Structure 1
Amino acid sequence: MSLQIGKSLRNGFDRATNRNAGLLFVMFFFVSLASTIVTNTATAVAYRRLAELSKEMSEEPLPVSDWLLPSVSVPVPFEIILVLLVLLWIASEAVQVISDRTFISEETERLHEPTRWIGWATLSSLAFVAFFNFLLFFYISSVVFLGVLTPVLGLFWALIGGVGTLVLSLLLFFTRQEIATRDVGPIEAMTGSWSLARTNEIELFGLGVVLILIEAAQRFLVLALGSVRQLFTIVASSLLGAVALVFFSAVVAQAYRQLRLEREDDGSETTADSLDPNDEWDDPPL
């Protein structure tokens, strides 16, 4: 059972040009646009509050230059902004679940079961993202801490821990797809991804490099628009970001589907875990 990178990219591109991909693009675009505006607003409010605090505590307050602040923001209290950021984070994960579920299925016209246990799937996806980000934070913090104590030890741990983190990332590559299709919790999803990705780490690394290069090109285009009016830049970056998210979701979903179908052909896939759309879905554990 070996992943074919070229096949995943071709199938992903084909799925990213179907009608339901357009629906997902619209969803990703509006979530991305709203997130950018709310983040800009949070940045502007936080900077102004910091300037006010600096003015109270120092004779030389922090200067508030309008050109340093985002020009596209809304006059909303900071507390409401924090709530909006959390809601948009939840919304983005929900859209990601729907996108993965749709691209893994054979549906090309409509979204595939977008409301099926969407709350549970979103919560599981958020838990996985929080767990993985905690691991990354722990790794980076430990590298900095050991580097301050002993530079040689910090460098050694940066290399060893970096390799371990990379391998773990590859083994958990399909966790979100497991959550979206099997309606399982984060622990069972990570176990399923580990089982599926094992022995395919090199291929998944190659696929990840391709996607990273595409994302780098997308970010370069966004930076190239930096000299244009900020409102246009925000809209354009949201459009490009939505295109990239749809394509990435389609490619990873096709890679996941490829390995799952091969495992079905090998007879190692159980009926309950089958991708057959006629099979009944199990309710998630409560």
Structure 2
Amino acid sequence: MSLSIGAALRNGFDDFASEKGALFTAVFVLLGIANAVFSQTFSVALYERLFDFIPTTPENQAQLEQARQAVVEQAPLSLGTSLAVALLGLFVLFLIAEVLRIVAIRAFADDAGSPLPDDATRALGSTALTAILAAIVTGIVVAIGTALFVIPGIVAVILFAFVRQEIALNDSGVVESIRNSVGLVTDDALAVTGLLVVLVLLGIVVGVPLSLVPIPLSPVVTLAVNTIVGQLVAVYGIAVLTDAYQQVTTESVTEDEFAV
């Protein structure tokens, strides 16, 4: 029995539309806004550093000021802090995001009605550390694969689809979670690839209406809408992939039980 894309999408939507889905959507939207603030802060601070390396002369002073002003206008949420503070903020938000993904996966995998089951925070510190290390390792592999004519990077993304679910639900280590994810995906590669394609297309489609607005929107409004839409898709994606993981692992267990 293969992974059912339709069932994963339907079950994922049921979880997404539930109380727990609303809870995690709200939290992830707040996280997305905070990430946007520090991303813009980083961008402004980086450009300021670059501008410092450009010699200022009477001829280019006006142009440099205009360039600085343009950067600031495109980053209205910037805190105006140093590059180090911006990097620290982004790193802390990265850690928080990994913890929240672990909790969300466990919550969506739980059939109880509670938005936040007791098991959701089990051994959260060590599990989050494993997830962070796995994210770094898989991120490096994907980056290298993308640099090698893109396609290897896409293949790596597909093979690592269930790494976080393995860590959150199976208590797997870094190497074990990667190995198990690759094994689960290769057993039903076409269905998993199809499911990921659907999620990517969904993210593109829901973002189209904003680009069709006939009037120019302020950077703040555009950022707010993009953040909300992006986090809605992200939370739905977590719910869908968690259901898909449960499908393929349940089938594996059933096959093992009947194996002679």
Which interval holds the TM-score relative to the shorter structure?
0.7 to 0.9
Give the conservation status (yes or no) of the 8 Å contact 1:31–1:88.
Answer: yes
**Which residue of 2 is the match for residue 248 of structure 1?**
237
Q: CA RMSD in A?
A: 2.4
The alignment covers a number of residue pairs equal to: 251
**Which residue of 1 is the match for residue 143 of structure 2?**
137
The equivalent position to 2:98 in structure 1, one of 93, 98, 108, is: 93
Pair 121,221 (structure 1): closer, same or farther in 2 beyond 3 Å: farther
Pair 244,58 (structure 1): closer, same or farther in 2 beyond 3 Å: farther
Residue 73 (structure 1) aligned with residue 62 (structure 2): no
**Which residue of 1 is the match for residue 123 of structure 2?**
117
> 1:2-52: CA deviations, max 9, x gaps?
101111111111111111111111111111100001101111111122112
User: Which region of structure 1 is more displaced relative to structure 2, 247-256 or 110-119?
Assistant: 110-119
Residue 237 (structure 1) aligned with residue 222 (structure 2): no
Q: Structure 2 counterpart of 1:68, which letter?
A: V
Give the Cα–Cα distance (whole angstroms) in 2 for the partners of residues 234 and 166 of structure 1: 27
Give the conservation status (yes or no) of the 8 Å contact 1:104–1:256.
Answer: no
For the residue of structure 2 that corresponds to 1:184, the secondary structure is coil
Task: Give % identity.
Answer: 24
Residue 3 (structure 1) aligned with residue 3 (structure 2): yes
User: Which region of structure 1 is more displaced relative to structure 2, 63-72 or 89-98?
Assistant: 63-72
Please list every run of 5 or more consecutive structure 1 residues that lacks an aligned counterpart in the other structure. Answer: 144-157, 270-286
Give the conservation status (yes or no) of the 8 Å contact 2:15–2:108.
Answer: yes
Please list every run of 5 or more consecutive structure 2 residues that lacks an aligned counterpart in the other structure. Answer: none
Pair 126,55 (structure 1): closer, same or farther in 2 beyond 3 Å: same
Q: Structure 2 counterpart of 1:259, which letter?
A: V
TM-score for both structures, normalised by structure 2: 0.87
> 1:126-179: CA deviations, max 9, x gaps?
2222112212332344x4xxxxxxxxxxxxxx3xx82x5444433322111000
User: Which region of structure 1 is more displaced relative to structure 2, 86-95 or 128-137?
Assistant: 128-137
Instruction: Give the 5 Å matches for 1:166-181.
Output: 166-181=154-169
- Give how far 1:193 is off: 1.6
Give the conservation status (yes or no) of the 8 Å contact 2:108–2:239.
Answer: yes
- Give how far 1:224 is off: 4.9
Pair 39,168 (structure 1): closer, same or farther in 2 beyond 3 Å: closer
Give the Cα–Cα distance (whole angstroms) in 1 for the partners of residues 240 and 207 of structure 2: 19
Give the Cα–Cα distance (whole angstroms) in 1 for the partners of residues 51 and 58 of structure 2: 10
Q: Structure 1 counterpart of 2:200, which letter?
A: I
> 1:219-239: CA deviations, max 9, x gaps?
434545693122222222221
Give the Cα–Cα distance (whole angstroms) in 2 for the partners of residues 139 and 122 of structure 1: 25
